[in-house]
Amino acid sequence: MSFPTPSVVTSLFHLNLDIISSILGLMPASTLLSLRGTCQAADVNVHSEFEHRYSRLLSPFVADQHRFREVLDAANTFISGSTAVAFFSGGNLRPHDLDLYAAKGDSARIISYLIGVEGYKLVRAGSPIGEALYRGGIHVVFRLVRMTDSASIDVIESNTASSYLPLLHFWCTVPMNILRGKSFTALYPSLLEDCRGLLNPIRTGNEEAQEDLDRLTKKYHAYGFDVRPFESSWAILPTGHARCAGRRSPNCPLTVRWVGDRFCLSADTGLVNNRTRPIEDPSLWPAQFELLTVQTIKPLTVVWWRGGATCGCGILPGPDELLPSRAWTQPLEHVE
């Protein structure tokens, strides 16, 4: 994506603040990141927009949003699902519940905070078997409900030491995003920006799964997303054949990916002075300041390939081979 020209940026920030806020509110996160690099005014306004999105999306669920975001990062927990989609996409999408993801054995801290500070009650804890939204990579799901207004939060605990693993079992690429207290990562940012999604082959193959996929596809279609089985279906050539982006492209079923790789979109939501403070010794960094590579890429990461039927990588017009889908946790140093 190209950067806005200086004249466009100057004109934009001469507008009324309400108009600026309305314009920024419609921009996807990737566009906001391009905009904020143009000048100090852009950086300040984009930071304000990110803070507004946090507030708008969290206010139905938590009273003390600032403290909640601090606990979120301290507990190595993140937000995903439709709430993260709404943060990345902008617009007026308002999810009805909040999904938090934690590593195996690490959910107690965020649950204790929600019960002790935010007034939630634990109403269920158990296996996700039988739940359409939560399948694969999950050890246990805790459901909490606030007694005053029935607001609902699910805390989903991974079955490995990486909280990322359940994301790769999501039904499609659209909700595969990580929203932390002060930073974010999108695993398929180009598709997300284009309001597109690819079905996850892990979740296809039987009638029960198809019913779930049909329902979820309709739900996200109402949000404005076009979800399909193959990326090539968006690039039909005049011959009627589908054009493939090629092997090693970010969305190819054969490409080996990991959380934090070069295909991800990762950023800190803070102001530039907080993002680039020059401290030589990482051990001296304050808790609230994390460089992107520190906050986004953990010692453990999740490696995956989408798998499923490929489109021939530019050689054949239709599916020609089948690769089993895989996702697993391993030390980051083994994939760099």
Q: Kindly report, residue by residue over 134-193, the tens digit of the pLDDT.
A: 568 899 999 999 989 989 999 999 999 999 999 999 999 999 999 999 999 999 999 999
More confident residue, 37 or 178: 178
Of the pLDDT bands very low, low, confident and very high (cuts 50, 70, 90), residue 294 is very low
Q: Is the pTM of this model over 0.75?
A: yes
Element housing 125 (H / E): strand 120-126
pLDDT of the residue at 212: 79
Question: Residue 81 pLDDT more than 80?
Answer: yes
Please, are residues 279 and 285 in contact by the beta-carbon 8 Å criterion? yes
End-to-end alpha carbon distance in the chain = 26
Q: Is 126 exposed, middle or buried (0-12, 13-18, 19+ CB in 10 A)?
A: exposed
pLDDT at position 151, please? 94
217 vs 123: CA distance, rounded Å: 29
Q: What is the mean pLDDT of residues 115-124?
A: 96
Phi then psi dihedrals of residue 48, to 5 deg: -60, -40
% the chain with pLDDT above 90: 50
How many contiguous H segments (helices) and E segments (strands) does the chain have? 11, 15
Task: Identify the pLDDT of residue 288.
Answer: 40
Among residues 118, 217, 109, which one has the least CA distance to residue 155? 109
Tokens of 89: 């996409």
Length of the chain, in residues = 336
Which residues lie closer than 8 Å to 67 by C-beta, 6 or more apart? 117
133: nearest Cα among 226, 203, 218, 197? 203
Looking at residue 296, what is its pLDDT? 44
Instruction: Say if residues 254 and 246 touch (Cβ distance below 8 Å).
Output: no
- 8 A C-beta contact, residue 227 and residue 196: yes
pLDDT tens readout for residues 233-289:
787 656 555 566 666 788 888 889 999 999 999 999 999 877 644 434 444 444 443
Does 319 score more than 70 pLDDT? no
Comparing C-alpha atoms, which of 327, 331, 333 is closest to residue 165?
327
Tell me what the mean pLDDT of segment 121-146 comes to.
82
Could you give the angle at the alpha carbon of 265 between the alpha carbons of 33 and 54, nearest 5°?
Answer: 60
Q: Each residue of 221-232: b (16+ CB within 10 Å) or e?
A: eeeebebebbbb
Rounded Cα distance between 159 and 128, Å, is 12
Dist. CA 249–CA 190, nearest whole Å: 11
Cα radius of gyration (the chain)? 20
